[in-house]
Chains A and B, each alone.
Chain A
């Protein structure tokens, strides 16, 4: 079998069971033959035992004992399917329990977000939350699926009304590419195949959109940023003096001969070679994992960033960020946390909480500023050492960080630099 040049597309699905989200995922998996007979049999047996009519497709995505027993999704689940055109990774995030924490997690690596709306109910609070998080996490593409069109007699008016409802509130958000598709996940209308019940819809069905959407530009190809993960020193015959800097290109393009600066030290040099196991390459771009060697013997180690001398990120010790709190213990102002940003791990302190955002109304709350689990707010943060950063909207890798509580070592917050 020929190994194709197909791309990988990661998308997140948001919605509750009531929106038919699991049915939609079940259908995508089933129609692309990603569900196996033994899985189908196991799920059919469980459905029967629980007295459900037909096969409960939600059981494909709920993996843990508690989830199956309680009929809820607790955690992000990853699902995979492949079509002749692309490989897909679905980050399936729960609609109710800890939705913000899980949605933010799923959204952080997604190329696209699927937002489900029940055609009978139109835009509800949950829709606004999902759209807000897609915009906050800067998911490049948003697809709004208006589901259960079969229950509104496939009426175009219902669909266009929901589009205008959505556009009314989403004008406040920053979403670059947004599309609307009327579907019925249950009957398969406009999921894999074009619906025969909605002649008025001239667009493509969902799978076609996912297969053909342009994602090569989703990663930043302008600002060359190479965070050093580790130094490779083989110290064996033939490589006695070899000193390579291993990392994954965060953004931009690097080529041998490029004038580079190592931050934060500020030493300059030129790229001597970009090495991989399969040999040296002429250029490296995101998200390639490579090993870079420099012309000059300078001190470079984990936590440093190699960048082009004519395009440097900012080096800062104090900056503002939007933050999503992920832990049961609320944020403690003026307490030290460890901040992980690329391969850098300075200590950090929340200097100030400027406001919280109500993700249902998008209003700012300036009175209650305690950041609790699932809260989103704007903070000023100070680090003990400068970090090399870009704004999150320009760069999802060098613009993002997490906070770790030193007392528990747990990840307590996700931050997007402003």
Chain B
């Protein structure tokens, strides 16, 4: 066989670097949406590779629900320091205090949907014309329809039925003032690819991804971590379990799975044998069959 071919991880990396460079070339004020989760960490790592030996040219933007894992915030701050990057924070708590949004009520109230307003406000305040995200097409059925360069109108809305066709490697980021784009450099990666890449590149990730002892409550088929925001419901009891998280989000809605995987290698093994999708433990996606599409239309990540 010819030696002139790339293995699939190199090809995915090369594609992502190409997209990040296109973002830099086509937009005035792009940012990386940084949640502290593995996907946005991988995107940040790819940005470091894309512009080497220059520094990452994008600020990191974090939409802070106020319901964080302390580990995620500590990780975020150390990474920002290490890369010498600029950090922009949009705070859901501030949006609430300013009366831009109101807390949800009821049994399953979360701040998940409130993030949309905070995110769009932050995009407007900082005059962001392209927000780079770690979204992947394998994550969720609405995301399977995403473009690399995904247009948002001046209300931040996504119109999935009227997307620009993307052909070959030509990306059209043209837009009117007030509109913006979301760019997804790792669209074609699967959860498995992300883990294989983290392992290959030896990328540091928050400790929450590794199996650890934690106080948790069994709710909606997953282990919800105990935090100051958790209100125990009738019949629920706090237990200590060895768990890890497959995705990281708001601490009130991110469920863990029981696991002994305490190294990246073991996690990759575990993921390859998984029978549930990674978002299966995210109650934000379970509200309805098209929960993700509905939020995305409004401007969600």
Instruction: Give residues in A with beta carbon < 8 Å to B.
Output: 1, 3-8, 36-39, 42, 46, 62-66, 68, 74-80, 82, 86-87, 89, 101-102, 104-105, 108-109, 214-217, 221, 229-230, 232-236, 238-239, 242, 244, 246-248, 253, 275-278, 285, 287-289, 291, 302, 326, 338, 340-341, 343, 396-397, 400-402, 404, 409-411, 414
Closest to A235 in B: B54
Given A409-B175, A411-B165, are A229 and B22 also a contact pair (CB < 8 Å)?
yes
Give the chain B neighbours of A287 by CB distance below 8 A: 6, 11, 14-15, 18
Closest CB-CB distance, B253 to chain A, in whole Å? 16
Contact of B142 with A36 in the complex, beta carbons under 8 Å: no
Contact of B2 with A217 in the complex, beta carbons under 8 Å: yes
Contact of A6 with B7 in the complex, beta carbons under 8 Å: yes
Give the chain B neighbours of A6 by CB distance below 8 A: 7-8
Give the chain A neighbours of B207 by CB distance below 8 A: none
Given A63-B144, A232-B53, are A411 and B8 also a contact pair (CB < 8 Å)?
no
Q: Which of B1, B12, B51, B141 contacts A63 (CB 8 A)?
A: B141
Contact of B144 with A77 in the complex, beta carbons under 8 Å: yes
A341 to B6, CA, bound (A): 24
Contact of A229 with B7 in the complex, beta carbons under 8 Å: no
A410 to B162, CA, bound (A): 10
Tally of contact residues, B, Cβ under 8 A: 70
Which stretch from B107-115, B232-240, B266-274 is at the chain A interface? B266-274
A68 to B294, CA, bound (A): 14
Given A36-B280, A409-B172, are A80 and B50 also a contact pair (CB < 8 Å)?
no
Which stretch from B59-67, B119-127, B191-199 is at the chain A interface? B191-199
Query: B145 at the A/B interface (Cβ < 8 Å)?
Result: yes
Q: Which of A66, A248, A404 contacts B18 (CB 8 A)?
A: A248
Contact of B164 with A411 in the complex, beta carbons under 8 Å: yes
A65 to B141, CA, bound (A): 10
- Knowing that A8-B12, A289-B50, A414-B165 touch, tell me 12 more A-B residue pairs with CB under 8 angstroms: A1-B199, A39-B277, A42-B289, A64-B160, A64-B290, A78-B188, A229-B22, A232-B54, A289-B13, A326-B165, A410-B172, A411-B165
Contact of B161 with A66 in the complex, beta carbons under 8 Å: yes
Contact of B164 with A68 in the complex, beta carbons under 8 Å: no
Contact of B293 with A63 in the complex, beta carbons under 8 Å: yes
Closest to B288 in A: A65
Within 8 A of A (CB), among B278-295: 280, 289-290, 293-294
Give the chain B neighbours of A1 by CB distance below 8 A: 196, 199, 265, 268-269, 272
Query: B49 at the A/B interface (Cβ < 8 Å)?
Result: yes
Contact of A277 with B163 in the complex, beta carbons under 8 Å: no
Contact of A397 with B172 in the complex, beta carbons under 8 Å: no
Q: Which of A36, A66, A291, A411 contacts B276 (CB 8 A)?
A: A36
Give the chain B neighbours of A285 by CB distance below 8 A: 4
Give the chain B neighbours of A253 by CB distance below 8 A: 4
Q: Which of A78, A80, A244, A400 contacts B170 (CB 8 A)?
A: A400
Given A1-B272, A402-B167, are A216 and B5 also a contact pair (CB < 8 Å)?
yes
A244 to B183, CA, bound (A): 24
Closest to B16 in A: A289
Give the chain A neighbours of B141 by CB distance below 8 A: 62-64
Given A8-B12, A78-B144, are A3 and B200 also a contact pair (CB < 8 Å)?
yes
Give the chain B neighbours of A277 by CB distance below 8 A: 48-49, 52
